[in-house]
Chain A
Amino acid sequence: MYLVPLSLARRLGPALKPLRALVAGGWLQEADTDCLLRLVHPALRLKRVFARVESRVWVADDMLALGLRTNGNAHGWRPGQHVRLYRELDGVRHGRSYSLTKAEPDGRIELAVRRQPGGRFSNGLLERLEVGSLVELDPAQGELTWPHEAGSVLLLAAGSGITPLLGLLRHALAQGFAAPVTLLHYVRQRRQRAFGEELQGLMARYPNFQVRWAISGEAPAAGELAGRFQAAHLAGRPVHSLLACGPHGFVASVDDWWRAEPRAGGLQVEAFTPPAPSVGGGEQVRLRFARSHRELPGNSAVNLLEQAEAHGLRPPHGCRQGICTACTCQLLAGGVRDLRTGGLTHGPGLPIRLCVSAPLGDVELDL
C-alpha cells in the first residue's frame, strides 16, 4: 500500500515547487529528494516522468496498447508525439521510443507496442509488463501536427507507423474536423491491422473519414489494396495535406511521390528507423578517448557510439538514433559527419551525439 493514491500524488505538483527551486539552486540533491518522495508514492518524482501501467489491450495479433497514467511531470504532451520508455535489464537502463496514441489532460496516455522478431525490449514489455508496474518516460518529442486548415487529409501508415497517425486522427475527429480524411494502412498480414475495429467504428461515426488497408504478404480480399506503397493506390483521392509514418524506406518512397509534382498542401513525414548506414567499408582512422587514455583504430563509416562500445567503453546512451542527446559528448579534436544529415562538425569543444556521428578523420573524444 502506498501512502497516497496516484491521483492524489499528481496533485502534489505545485506543492513541490519550493523543492524544485532548492534543487535548481544546488541546495538539495534531486536524487535524495526523489528518494523521499517515493515514500509518498512510488511514481512521485521532482522532475522525472514516471507512469503506472493501468491497462493492456491487444489491438492486433502483434500489437499491444498500454494505458498509462503519468505522475504529473508530463507537460504539454500531444498525441502523435513519441516518448522513450525505460526498463532495466541486467542492471542496464534501456530505452525505446513509442508513439503516443492518446494523451489526455488528466495524465492518461496510451502507447502501442509492436512485437519485434528477436526484440528483447519490446517483447519484454508485451510479455512481462503487468498492470500496476511503474515505468520511466522521457519528455515527449516530435513535430507531427494535424493540418487543421487543410481541405483534405491523407494519412499513410506502414506497420506500426499507424500509432502516431492514430493519435492525431482520434484527436482531430473528436475536435470536429470536418474535411475529408483518408487513412491507408500498409501491413504484411491481415491480422496485423492494428486498431482495426476502432478505425471501422470511426468510419461509421464520421462520414468524412475513410480507412483502407493494403496487404503485401497475403492475397488481398475485396476492398483491400494489394502490395506496398504505389502511386496507383492514391489515384482519384483528394490530397491536400499528407502525413506519412513508417520505416525509412516507406517514408522515402512517399516523399519521392509527393515531390514528383508541385502540390499546394503540406507534407509531414516521420521515419521510426534511422537511415541505413552508408555502404562501403569506410576509411581507417585513429580514435582517441581522452579520459580513458586510449588510442585505437576506427572506421569512418560507423557511428562513434558503436565503435566506442566495441572497444569496451560504455558511454551513456539513449535512443541510439540521434534524438535523445543522452550520448552527447565533447569533441576535443578532429571532425565528425552526422550520419542522418551528412552535416559536418569540427572540434574542439563542440558537443556531438555519438550514436549518429561518424569520424571524418582522426578524432579525439572526451570519453
Chain B
Amino acid sequence: MRHDRQLTAAELDSFGAELDALRQRTLDDLGEPDARYIRRIRAAVRLCCWSGRALLLLGWFPPTWLLGVALLGLGKILENMELGHNVMHGQYDWMNDPELRGTRYEWDIAGPADFWRHTHNHIHHSYTNVLGKDDDVGYGLVRLFPEQRWKPFYRWQPLWVTLQALLFQYSVAVQHLRLDQYVKGRMSRAELRPLLRQFNAKLLRQSVKDYLAFPLLALLLGTSAAAVLVGNLLANLIRNLWTFTVIFCGHFTERAAVFPPSVLEGESRGHWYLRQLRGSSNLTGGPLLHILTGNLSHQIEHHLFPDLPARRYAELAVEVREIAARYGQVYNSGRLSRQFGTVLRRIWKYRLA
C-alpha cells in the first residue's frame, strides 16, 4: 500500500515548478553526446538484426542458429524499446534529423506506428492509470485493481494474460482498432474500415518479411527455410515476453496507484506530475537492464518527462527521488523479480471479485 502525503494546492504548484525546472535544465544541456548515443543504439540495432538474420541463413547448426536467434531477438528488443519507443515520443526531435523524427518513425513490430502514437503517446500518457480512460490498465483483458468492476470473464485472466504475453506485439497493434466499441455498435463499419486497412497492410509487411521473404532466401541459398522461420518466430517471441514484462512492471506493481476519472477535472500541472509519479513504478538494476528496457526501468522519470532523451532518466532519477521524498511521496522502485512478482500476484488476486 502507498502512504503518500496529501499536498495542498500551493505545495502542488511548487512541486510542479521544481519538476519543470529540472526538465528545463536537462533540455538546455542536450547536445552532441545525446545525438551520438541514439545513433550508436541504432547502429547496435542494425548490427544485431543483420548479423542475427545472416546467422539464421546458415541453417540448423546449433551454435550459429542459437546465436542468430539471440542476436535477432536482442536487436528487436533494442529497436522496440530504446530506439522506436523513445524516438516516437519525440525525444530526439531536437536533433532535427529526418531519420529520428518522432512523427515519422516506423518501427519493426506488427502495429502501425501511427496507431501507437495515438494509443500510447496521447491516450496512455495523458490519462495514465485513470480507470475508464487509460486502456493500458489491463488492456480490457485483465483486472489488476480492486477499483475495476469485476466480470466473470476475469476468472480466467491468468490464461488471458499468458496469451497476451506471448502475442504482445499483436495485442498492442489491435488496441487502436477499439474492436470492443465496434462489437457494441458504438463504432460504424465505415469508421473501422480505414483503420483496418492500415492495420492489415502493416501486419502483412511484417509477416512477409519474417515468415516468407527470409525463409525463401534460405531456400534460394540452399539452406533450411524452416530454421529461418522458427528462428524468426522465436526472436519475436523473446521480444514479446520481454516487452510484456517491462510494460506490466511499469504501472501494475503492488504500490502503483489508479485514479477515478474525476481526478482529471481542472487538473493542475503539479497534480498531473503527481499522478504520473504515483501511477508509475521503477526497476532497479545495472546499465544493461536500463538499455534493454529502453530506460523504461525509469518509468517514473519517463512519465514525468516523456519527451526527454531516455538516457537522461538515470541522472534525473536522483533528483526526482529526492523531490518525491521532500513532498512525502512514495517512490515506487524495486528489483525486476520483486516488481514482476507483485504484478503476477495482482493478476492472480483480482481474478476474483
Q: Which residues of A contact B (CB under 8 A)?
A: 25-27, 29-32, 34-35, 48, 88, 90-95, 290-295, 312, 314-318, 326
Contact = CB atoms under 8 A, between A and B. Distances in A.
B95 to A, nearest CB: 6
Interface residues of B, number: 34
Contact of A293 (B93, B95, B126): B126
A92 B209 contact: no
Interface in B1-35: 23-24, 27, 30-35
Most buried by B among A32, A35, A314, A317: A314
B32 A90 contact: yes
A30 B99 CA distance: 8
Counting from the closest, the 4 A-B pairs by CB-CB distance are: A91-B35, A314-B94, A93-B96, A31-B99
B272 A316 contact: no
B23 to A, nearest CB: 7
A291 B96 contact: no
Interface of B: 23-24, 27, 30-36, 42, 46, 90, 93-99, 101, 106, 121-122, 125-126, 201-202, 205, 208-209, 269, 272, 307
Given A27-B208, A318-B96, 7 more contacts: A25-B205, A90-B32, A92-B96, A291-B90, A293-B125, A314-B27, A316-B101
B115 to A, nearest CB: 14
B106 A29 contact: yes
Contacts of A93: 95-97
A34 B42 CA distance: 13
Contacts of A30: 99
Contacts of B125: 293
A26 B108 CA distance: 11
A102 B31 CA distance: 35
A14 to B, nearest CB: 24
Given A26-B106, A90-B32, A91-B30, A316 B122 contact: no
B209 A27 contact: yes
Given A26-B205, A27-B209, A35-B46, A91 B95 contact: yes
Contact of B96 (A31, A34, A48, A326): A326
B326 to A, nearest CB: 23
The A interface, classified by DSSP as helix, strand, loop or mixed, is: loop
A91 B205 contact: no
Contacts of A48: 98
Contacts of A88: 35
A294 B269 contact: yes
B94 A92 contact: yes
A315 B32 contact: no
Nearest to A136: B98
A91 B93 contact: no
A32 B50 CA distance: 10
Nearest to A328: B103
B202 A26 contact: yes
Nearest to A86: B96
A90 to B, nearest CB: 4
Contacts of B35: 88, 91-92
Contacts of B126: 293
Nearest to A315: B93
A32 B47 CA distance: 11
A93 B30 CA distance: 13
A107 B34 CA distance: 35
B27 A312 contact: yes
B122 A91 contact: no
B95 A92 contact: yes
B49 to A, nearest CB: 9
Nearest to B273: A293
Nearest to B104: A316
29 contacts: A25-B205, A26-B201, A26-B202, A26-B205, A27-B208, A27-B209, A31-B99, A35-B46, A48-B98, A90-B31, A91-B30, A91-B31, A91-B32, A91-B35, A91-B36, A291-B121, A291-B307, A292-B307, A293-B125, A293-B126, A312-B23, A312-B24, A312-B27, A314-B94, A315-B93, A316-B93, A316-B96, A317-B96, A326-B96
A94 B32 contact: no
Contacts of B23: 312
Most buried by B among A93, A316, A326: A316
B96 A94 contact: yes
Most buried by A among B35, B98, B125: B98
Contacts of B209: 27
A326 B106 CA distance: 18
A351 B97 CA distance: 20
A333 B125 CA distance: 20
Nearest to A93: B96
Nearest to B39: A91
A34 B100 CA distance: 14
Contacts of B205: 25-27
B95 A291 contact: no
A291 B208 CA distance: 33
A304 to B, nearest CB: 15
A50 to B, nearest CB: 13
A314 B202 contact: no
A24 to B, nearest CB: 12
Contacts of A25: 205
A26 B114 CA distance: 13
B76 to A, nearest CB: 14
